[in-house]
Amino acid sequence: MTHHSAPSPARAPDDPGRAAAQLRDVLGLVEEIAGRAAPAADDGALDRAARIGAAYAAAPPIAQRRFDALAGETAAWAAAGVEALLVLQDRQRPARAAAERLAEELARALARLGAIVS
């Protein structure tokens, strides 16, 4: 008989609302690189972060794990994408198309994060 230990749960973000808010901030930066209008001051950002945090706390553990996994994956590829955009800019190469694509993917990931816990 083989004994398998239970998989360890994914580490929950310290603050799921804050994680989503940080990704939204990155989205704003990427949109600026893409040449889109700079986002206006977002008075609802704190409220949105609080709603995501509350929804996360009330969500079943499976939804929390899915949120954690997607938030971690999104943060990793967003960081790599922003780094690549900055390298392109340093080399005087146009980064607009790449930034637009990254912005689209970030917006989709943020929508999926919200849908997971709502």
**pLDDT single digits (tens) 40-94:** 666 677 888 889 999 999 999 999 999 999 999 999 999 999 999 988 877 777 7
Rounded-to-integer distance, Cα 48 and Cα 54, Å: 10
- Residue of higher predicted confidence among 20 and 92: 20
53 close to 17: Cβ distance less than 8 angstroms:
yes
Which amino acid belongs to residue 6?
A
Q: Which token pair is 2?
A: 């083989």
Residue 73's CB: how many other CB atoms inside 10 A?
11
Q: Which token pair is 43?
A: 């008075």
* pTM of the predicted protein model: 0.79
Q: How many H helices and E strands in the chain?
A: 4, 0
Q: Residue 9 — pLDDT band, cuts 50, 70, 90?
A: very low
Phi, psi (deg, nearest 5) at residue 42: -100, 100
Longest dimension (CA), the chain: 62
- Residue of higher predicted confidence among 13 and 88: 88
The mean pLDDT value of the chain amounts to 84
